[in-house]
Chains A and B, each alone.
Chain A
Amino acid sequence: MKAIYTNYFKKKDNIDPVLKALENVPIFEHLTEKELSEIARLTHERTYKKDEHVFKKQAPAEGMYVILDGGVEIFDPDSETIFATLKSGDFFGELALLDEEPRSAAAIATLPARLIGFFRTDLLTLIKRSPELGNKVLLNLSRVLGERLRKTNQELARPTQ
């Protein structure tokens, strides 16, 4: 009985690591498994060697990356400030999905890394082919950016010590 239940009724865990990684990205929140796999079909899986640039500062920006495994550091090469050290499951560069401004910081692989790239052209294709899903992603993206704006406002409003 238990076997039947687990085989046919229990929701299976995502075996595909790409789907699993995408599921945890806020931009792809509240999507069904079918919708997620539709997005996964548009993404590009890339491998980076240790110390290889994912992108440099001021490079033309086309989209975002989700870390499948490995580590990535976001830093400003001019002031040598490290903004973030990211690990498996984290994402970066999502602002480029919306605007065409060059990258404001550089990203480098601190460990051999596997990344999933989701680019503006993929988002445009998604909006064209499946507007409903495209809208969901856009709405999630706006929510992520809105949250970040609210945080920045709070930071600014905090009295300087």
Chain B
Amino acid sequence: MEILPFLSSIIGMLVFSFLFTTIFLQAVDSIERFTRSRALGVFLIISFTIMVGVTFMGSFISNLGSQIKLFTQKIQRDDFTTSIENLSISIKNSLPDSVANMIPESEKIILLAKNSLVGIFQSVLSLLGSAGSLFFISFMVLIFTIILLIEYHDFKRSLVKFVPNKYLEVGLRMIYNIELQISKYLRGQILAASSVAILSIIGLFILNQLGANITLIVFIGIIAGLANLIPMVGPFIGMIPAILIALMNNVGSEVAFNHQVFGTIPSPFYILDIIIMFIVVQQIDNNFITPLVVGESVGLHPMAVMLVLLIGGTLIGPLGMLFAIPVAGVLKVVITEVVFITKNSHLL
């Protein structure tokens, strides 16, 4: 029974390779038109993607590293403890007595903060430890993707060989509709994610002009865009890095702590500003950009979207949520075709 986890990781690799294949297929097909060589098209697309990915990850890691270093220095300074103490006192003063009594002593807060930070760093370290196996997995996914991209149309053709004569024509139509559904969904999602990323970067830039002191805004924007791929929960996940960075950068600053939105509502460390900014971005995306670029996506009822998200999340976790909607879209196509086939079985 030891073979099961091994198999599941291979299936995972294949799923990711298939996903990348679907993302790049259109681009490879279009390049093939001009170069007359599919292999060259695949080479160009893959090398461009790797270059962009490596540049992004490289600068992200080095930027995040310097950010963490700065923050660690900040914590180690003595005034960090006093600033936390001041913070807890000022919070206590601003609250009614009954609530204030429930807040633990400042020493406890400092201990808690330090412990949780140690925890975060440890998990970052263990993540780096698993980078080795991550490298292997990425390499295998890359190889599978290249093979699938080059052989895609031949591969599909050999798959059709197994369809019985009776179901040949409906089978072909089903494969075509599934492809169409997936590529339509992916294209829409990629466009929507890019628009959220760009809008978030603009929003964060504006907040910085107002004094929010948020660094790494490009990366935060891209993370928000990627998180947006998960419907409903994604936008909230997207806010977290921005809020964390704002907290890290502004701890100890009296001005940031006393900041108020529109000069009336208290918004310590610009947290409320950030939340409002992301909600505005979401509204622009949902009401103007997504309807424009995505059009009719997979055509699932909102209730069905929620249900499949819950099922995906419960079964596989965040990755399950990411894949839930396209899988449901594909299932919808398959069910529609199967219903058609059973209804018209006398014709086949």
Interface residues in chain A, defined as those with a beta carbon under 8 Å from any beta carbon in chain B: 41-42, 44, 46, 48, 52-63, 102, 117, 119, 121, 124-125, 128-131
- Per the CB 8 Å criterion, the residue count for chain B at the interface is 22
Q: Assess whether B154 is in contact with A56, with CB atoms less than 8 Å apart.
A: no
Instruction: Answer whether residue B114 sits at the interface, using C-beta atoms and an 8 A cutoff.
Output: no
What 4 additional pairs, Cβ within 8 angstroms, besides A59-B344, A121-B175, A130-B32? A56-B347, A59-B169, A60-B169, A62-B173
Give Cα A85–Cα B347 distance, bound, in whole angstroms.
Answer: 22
Instruction: Answer whether residue B69 sits at the interface, using C-beta atoms and an 8 A cutoff.
Output: no
Q: Assess whether A46 is in contact with B165, with CB atoms less than 8 Å apart.
A: yes
Instruction: Answer whether residue B85 sits at the interface, using C-beta atoms and an 8 A cutoff.
Output: no
Count A/B pairs, Cβ under 8 Å: 57
Residues of chain A within 8 A of B109, CB atoms compared: none
Interface residues in chain B, defined as those with a beta carbon under 8 Å from any beta carbon in chain A: 29, 32-33, 153-154, 157, 160-161, 165-166, 168-170, 172-173, 175-176, 340, 344, 346-348
Q: Assess whether A60 is in contact with B173, with CB atoms less than 8 Å apart.
A: yes
Give Cα A132–Cα B29 distance, bound, in whole angstroms.
Answer: 14
Q: Assess whether A56 is in contact with B165, with CB atoms less than 8 Å apart.
A: no
Q: Assess whether A60 is in contact with B33, with CB atoms less than 8 Å apart.
A: no
Residues of chain B within 8 A of A57, CB atoms compared: 347
Residues of chain B within 8 A of A119, CB atoms compared: 169, 172
Q: Assess whether A60 is in contact with B344, with CB atoms less than 8 Å apart.
A: yes
* A–B complex contacts, Cβ < 8 Å, 20 sampled: A41-B154, A44-B157, A46-B168, A52-B165, A55-B169, A57-B347, A59-B169, A59-B348, A60-B340, A62-B168, A62-B169, A62-B172, A62-B173, A102-B347, A121-B172, A121-B175, A125-B153, A129-B153, A130-B32, A130-B33
B347 is contacted by which of A41, A59, A128 (Cβ under 8 Å)?
A: A59
